[in-house]
Chain A
Amino acid sequence: MALTKEQIAQRIAKELRDGYYVNLGIGIPTLVANYIPAGINVVLQSENGLLGMGPFPEEGQEDPDLINAGKQTITTVPGSVFFDSALSFGMIRAGKVDLTVLGAMEVSDQGDIANWKIPGKMVKGMGGAMDLVASAKNIIVAMMHSNPKGESKLLPACTLPLTGVRCVKKIVSDLAVLDVTPEGFKLLERAPGVTVEEIKAKTAGKLIIEGEIPEMVFN
Chain B
Amino acid sequence: MNKQVLNATEAVKDIPDGATIMFGGFGLCGIPENCIAALVKQGTKGLTCISNNAGVDDFGIGLMLQQKQVKKMISSYVGENAEFERQLLSGELEVELIPQGTLATRCMAAGYGMPAIYTPAGVGTEVAAGKEVRNFDGKDYLMEYAFDADFAIVKAWKGDTDGNLVYKATARNFNPLMAMAGKITIAEVEELVPAGTLDPDMIHTPGIYIHRIFQGEKYEKRIEQRTVQKKA
Contacts and interface: CB of A to CB of B under 8 A. Distances in A.
A98 B3 CA distance: 43
Contact of B120 (A93, A112, A123): A93
A82 interface: yes
A92 interface: yes
B124 interface: yes
B97 A135 contact: no
B99 A128 contact: yes
Interface stretch (B9-17, B61-69, B192-200, B217-225): B217-225
Given A73-B225, A122-B85, A84 B176 contact: yes
B229 A65 contact: no
Contacts of A71: 26-29, 80, 224-225
A33 to B, nearest CB: 12
A50 B77 contact: no
Contacts of A89: 100-101, 104-105
A67 B176 CA distance: 17
Contacts of A92: 101
Given A122-B89, A126-B97, A134-B122, A66 B227 contact: no
Q: Is the interface of A mostly helix, strand, loop or mixed?
A: loop
B100 A58 contact: no
A131 B29 contact: no
A58 B232 CA distance: 8
B126 A161 contact: yes
Contacts of B89: 122
Interface string B87-108: 0110000000101111111011
- B interface residue count range (under 10 / 10 to 19 / 20 to 34 / 35 or more): 35 or more
A65 B221 contact: yes
Contacts of A73: 223, 225-228
Q: Is the interface of B mostly helix, strand, loop or mixed?
A: loop
B114 interface: no
Nearest to A129: B99
A150 B219 CA distance: 48
Nearest to B108: A86
B220 to A, nearest CB: 9
- A interface residue count range (under 10 / 10 to 19 / 20 to 34 / 35 or more): 35 or more
Given A82-B169, A93-B120, A67 B104 contact: no
B170 A126 contact: no
Contacts of A74: 227
A126 B99 contact: yes
**A59, A65, A90, A161: which has the most chain B beta carbons within 10 Å?**
A65
Contacts of A165: 123-125
Interface string A188-219: 00000000000000000000000000000000
Interface string A41-66: 00000111110000111111111111
Interface in A128-171: 128-131, 134-135, 161-165
29 contacts: A46-B170, A48-B173, A50-B170, A56-B229, A57-B228, A57-B229, A58-B228, A60-B228, A65-B170, A66-B170, A68-B170, A70-B225, A73-B228, A84-B177, A85-B52, A86-B104, A86-B107, A89-B100, A89-B104, A112-B124, A122-B89, A125-B97, A127-B76, A127-B99, A129-B99, A131-B99, A134-B119, A135-B121, A161-B125
Interface of A: 46-50, 55-68, 70-74, 82-86, 88-90, 92-93, 112, 122-131, 134-135, 161-165
